[in-house]
Homo-oligomer: A and B are copies of this chain.
Amino acid sequence: MRIGVIGLGSIGLGIARSALSAGDEVVGADLSQAQRNAFAALGGEATGDAPEAARGADCVFCVVINAAQTEAVLFGKGGVAETMPEDSVFVSCATLPPETAERLGARLTGLGRLYLDAPTSGGPDKALAGEITIMGSGAAAAFDKAQPALDAVAAKIYRLGDAPGAGSAMKAVNQLLAGVHIAVACEAVAFGARLGLEPSQVYEVITGAAGNSWMFENRVPHILDGDYAPKSAVGILTKDLGIVLDAARTRHFPVPMASMALQMFEMTAAAGMAQDDDASVARLYALIAGLSLPEAGD
């Protein structure tokens, strides 16, 4: 089938490559020449023009940063809503507020196109391997149309409901947990250091104990290596936890744990580390308390 991928960042590039590997005809779009070159180097066709990538596609993955970009891709001047064929399916992968997913879905459906609310989990490596998880919701017709493309790029595809919104709600729950787990992993390693424990020792013991989390296991090695080059940046979590807090406040629902985690990421961003790896929260604790953490090359 013919697939358009809008946004060739780390996840989008992985999705585009997985679809290509599955034998699909793939056109990728990105404003960055470097990202287009990266996809071209994998044998893909790349363009700087999103509507062009959607023209004639059966399925359009939209893997941009946020709600504003997703809306601009769909309905901005010359948006893909005008160039995607009727009955083709738009697969929205960015983390959006559930209400935004509902609204964009209703508007696109009104134009005779299908919409799938389909945020992802798994990160760049899983995306390249065609093994991301998709938290999907939408009409059965949208799932059916997208199924071969989803099978090409994902290891797990959840059908969480028959309307857009549920997929984004599940992603918000996941990001709430992910954000808190990263913040507390950093707090725990820094606290351990203050108590005289070696961070590497803390990592070894905790990953085999009840205090472990997927994020602890994944992010603490960045602290051990003193490597804060952004695999996923602080700014992603201020954005995603912001969505969580907005969704909670709209409903008058208290989320004190997520709220505290957001403050830790905001403090880290305020200290100049917004573009650095999200494990930089550990460096915030170190900065505040005058701790020494491992440095690159140690």
**A192 contacts chain B at the CB level, 8 A cutoff:** yes
Tell me whether B121 and A209 are in contact (CB under 8 A).
Answer: yes
Tell me whether A177 and B185 are in contact (CB under 8 A).
Answer: yes
Tell me whether A177 and B257 are in contact (CB under 8 A).
Answer: no
Question: Interface size on A (CB < 8 Å)?
Answer: 68
Residue of B211, B252, B253 touching A176 (CB-CB under 8 A): B211
B-chain residues with CB within 8 Å of residue A210 when the two chains form the complex: 121-123, 174, 178, 214-215, 218
CB-nearest residue of chain B to A207: B214
Bound-state Cα–Cα, A195 to B244, Å: 11
**A62 contacts chain B at the CB level, 8 A cutoff:** no
Residue of B133, B135, B166, B184 touching A181 (CB-CB under 8 A): B184
**A229 contacts chain B at the CB level, 8 A cutoff:** no
**A270 contacts chain B at the CB level, 8 A cutoff:** no
Q: How far is the CB of A234 from chain B (nearest CB, A)?
A: 16
Q: How many chain copies?
A: 2
**A188 contacts chain B at the CB level, 8 A cutoff:** yes
**A216 contacts chain B at the CB level, 8 A cutoff:** yes
Known: A181-B181, A197-B160, A201-B160. A174 touches B264 (CB 8 A): no
Known: A172-B195, A175-B211, A205-B174. A258 touches B160 (CB 8 A): no
Q: How far is the CB of A92 from chain B (nearest CB, A)?
A: 17
Q: Which of A133, A188, A201, A215 has the most CB of B within 10 A?
A: A188
CB-nearest residue of chain B to A190: B253
Q: Give A184-218 interface residues, CB cut-off 8 Å to B.
A: 184-185, 187-192, 194-197, 201-202, 204-206, 208-216, 218
Bound-state Cα–Cα, A257 to B188, Å: 9
CB-nearest residue of chain B to A135: B205
Tell me whether A181 and B264 are in contact (CB under 8 A).
Answer: no
Q: How far is the CB of A105 from chain B (nearest CB, A)?
A: 15
B-chain residues with CB within 8 Å of residue A184 when the two chains form the complex: 176-177, 180-181, 257-258
Q: Which 6 A-B pairs have the closest CB atoms?
A: A177-B211, A213-B213, A169-B195, A174-B211, A121-B209, A180-B184
Residues of A with Cβ closer than 8 Å to B? Answer: 98, 121-123, 133, 135, 156, 158, 160, 165-166, 169-170, 172-178, 180-181, 183-185, 187-192, 194-197, 201-202, 204-206, 208-216, 218, 244, 247-248, 251-258, 260-261, 263-264, 285, 288-289
